[in-house]
Homo-oligomer: A and B are copies of this chain.
């Protein structure tokens, strides 16, 4: 399932969901992306000042990618996902 993100928090939540789906710990992901577990923690918490590099490294570590696209109207289901 793809994840829509419009805020740092939603980005973090998306990363976390995919990481858990792959049964990886923050430490596991941290090793893949050469970052500390603490850094992964902040990224998933949606810390707004997290560096873009950390996001992209995490995506690579989880074999994910970003799509940038015009905002869509949120469906009822998509709204559910935000919570």
Contact = CB atoms under 8 A, between A and B. Distances in A.
B6 A59 contact: yes
This protein's copies in its complex: 2
Nearest to A48: B53
B48 A49 contact: no
A63 B71 contact: yes
Interface of A: 2-8, 11, 14-15, 18, 47-53, 55-56, 59-60, 63-72
Contacts of A5: 56, 65-68
Nearest to A53: B48
Contacts of A59: 6, 68
A52 B55 contact: yes
A66 B63 contact: no
B6 A65 contact: yes
B65 A4 contact: yes
